[in-house]
Amino acid sequence: MKFDISKGLPPPGVVNRNSFWLGGMGWCAAIMNGNVLSGVHRQVLLTTIGWFLGYHLTKYENYVHAKLDREMNEYMKLHPDDFAPKEKKTFAEIVEPFIPVR
């Protein structure tokens, strides 16, 4: 099934950037539809719908990134010669020698 690895992922936080952004967009859509004080129920409804969509969008985003990470790690395990560890250099080897100009 498509979402088998998603069951092993921790759920995203209730307050995340997508929920906040889409909830705010829902609230703005309700405000643009009429007066600020009229239709408070509409504001709450559209904000809640946006927040819900943002939460599930974040959940799907985490699933896609976990799937890509798993595929990349599997490729790295199958081809270790392509990912040999690099020789570690000290900071002095990287930086050019300092020669003051006067």
- Read off the pLDDT band of 55 (50, 70, 90): very high
CA distance 92 to 90: 5
Most confident of 2-11, 26-35, 38-47, 53-62: 53-62
Rounded Cα gap, residues 101 and 78, in angstroms: 52
Q: Map out the domains of the chain as residue ranges.
A: 13-79
pLDDT per residue as tens digits for the range 10-25: 888 888 999 999 999 9
* pLDDT of 4: 66
Estimate the share of the chain in helix, then strand, then coil, as percent rounded to the nearest 5.
65, 0, 35
CA distance to 7, 64, 67, per residue, from 2 (Å): 11, 11, 10
Percent of the chain with pLDDT over 90: 41
Structure tokens at 48: 């809640």
pTM score over 0.75? no
Q: Which residue has the tokens 């939460």?
A: 55
In whole angstroms, give the CA distance from residue 47 to residue 50.
Answer: 5
- Summarised one tens digit per residue, pLDDT across range 37-53 is 768 888 899 999 999 99
Helix 40-78 to helix 17-32 angle (10° resolution) is 150
Question: Which pLDDT value is given to residue 1?
Answer: 47
